[in-house]
Amino acid sequence: MDLILLSRNLSLPKIMKFDTSGLESTASVFGTAGNELVDGFSAAPAFELPTTTDFDGFQKEAVQMVKPAKGTTTLAFIFKDGVIVAADSRASMGGYISSQSVKKIIEINPYMLGTMAGGAADCQFWHRNLGIKCRLHELTNKRRISVTGASKLLANILFSYRGMGLSVGTMIAGWDETGPGLYYVDSEGGRLKGTRFSVGSGSPYAYGVLDSGYRADMSIEEAAELGRRAIYHATFRDGASGGVASVYYVGPDGWKKLSGDDVSELHYKYYPVVSTEAPEPDRMVEA
């Protein structure tokens, strides 16, 4: 822009130059403070851009910061007939899918289930250990341990290893004398009693479907379908979740595996390809 003005003032022969002033951004990279006076008159109203040269990287970093770290999707909820527990089956190591067939629902004993999110070894080992402790409780006390007790045992163990790098985000679901029970336990030592939980990087997506479709008076089939659908939608949006959506039901007689469906098959079941007849191309008319 300046060069063109210069040439006019000094009456130099007009240099044919592309006028690129329309493409110049009015917002400066180094900060917009102090530019208000200059831009106020000449420019259209402009919004401030974040002061970074790599906006895409900045945005990606922000998303990664808030996304839950454990690469999986697991969920569990209580309804009138018991507890539904559902999970995906993908194991990822960074960007590499190491397995599509991981068992993320762990059978602690015939009436209690645990879900796996975080470190696979940590979850498997400590759930197995919990199963041992539950059995010992049964033998010493001549009665089954409650879900409250089992989750507290696990939470206390994880709390004692706090800060040492265990990565466990699990839900303990079961049926005991007081009815259905569901607890969320994690490696920071947190333990929450609740009626609906989802854990893992796909959990925000699963929560959306789960919360909007939940009714306390669902039948077992409806509840299983809700769990399956929520896992499917999470695997669709989250790269670290996928494989097979397993659904378990815990009732008064213990747990029962209801289904294990490949999520890509579920995709075509929920959203079948509708064949559209390609319209006849217009014939070229001879001029």
Partner 1 sequence: MECVFGLVGSDFVIVVADASAVNSILVHKTNEDKIMKLDSHKLIAASGESGDRVQFTEFIQKNVALYHFRNGIPLTTAAAANFTRGELATALRKNPYMVNILLAGFDRETGPSLYYIDYIATLHKVDKGAFGYGSFFCLSMMDRHYHSGMSVEEAVELVDKCIMEIRSRLVVAPPNFVIKIIDRDGAREYAWRESVKDTPAAQPEGLAV
Would you call 72 a catalytic residue per the annotation?
A: yes
| Residues 224-283 interacting with partner 1 (rule: CB under 8 A) | none
Q: Residue 29, by phi and psi: left (phi above 0), alpha (psi -120 to 50) or beta?
A: alpha
- Asked whether position 49 contacts partner 1 by CB under 8 A, the answer is no
Active-site annotation holder among 72, 74, 115, 170: 72
Looking at the Cβ atoms of 87 and 158, the one nearer to partner 1 is 158
Options 103-111, 127-135, 191-199, 260-268: segment touching partner 1 (CB under 8 A): 191-199
Tell me the pairing of strands 244-251 and 82-87: antiparallel
Rounded to a whole number of angstroms, the minimum distance from the CB of residue 100 to partner 1 is 26
Looking at the Cβ atoms of 72 and 266, the one nearer to partner 1 is 72
Looking at 71, 114, 118, 180, which residue binds partner 1 (CB under 8 A)?
180
Q: Which single residue is written with the structure tokens 């003005």?
A: 5
Q: Which of 27, 26, 29, 20 is nearest to 1 (CA)?
A: 20
Which residues have a Cβ under 8 Å from the Cβ of 259 and sit 6 or more positions away?
Answer: 224, 228, 245, 246, 247
The answer to whether residues 116 and 87 touch, using CB atoms and an 8 Å cutoff, is yes
Task: Render the burial of 11-44: b for 16+ CB within 10 Å, e for the rest.
Answer: eeeeeeeeeeeeeeeeeeeeebeebeeebeeeee
Looking at 108, 158, 223, 263, which residue binds partner 1 (CB under 8 A)?
158
- Asked whether position 190 contacts partner 1 by CB under 8 A, the answer is yes
Distance (Å, whole) CA 105 – CA 75: 10
Count of positions on this chain that bind partner 1 (CB under 8 A): 38
Looking at 71, 73, 79, 150, which residue binds partner 1 (CB under 8 A)?
79
Looking at 193, 237, 256, 257, which residue binds partner 1 (CB under 8 A)?
193
Looking at 179, 219, 221, 252, which residue binds partner 1 (CB under 8 A)?
179
- Asked whether position 80 contacts partner 1 by CB under 8 A, the answer is yes
Take residue 32 and report the two structure tokens written for it: 């917009």
- Asked whether position 166 contacts partner 1 by CB under 8 A, the answer is no
Distance (Å, whole) CA 150 – CA 133: 8
Looking at the Cβ atoms of 81 and 107, the one nearer to partner 1 is 81
| Residues of the shown chain interacting with partner 1 in the complex, contacts defined by CB under 8 A | 66, 68, 77-80, 146, 148, 155-156, 158-159, 162-163, 178-181, 184, 186, 188-197, 203-204, 207, 211, 214-217
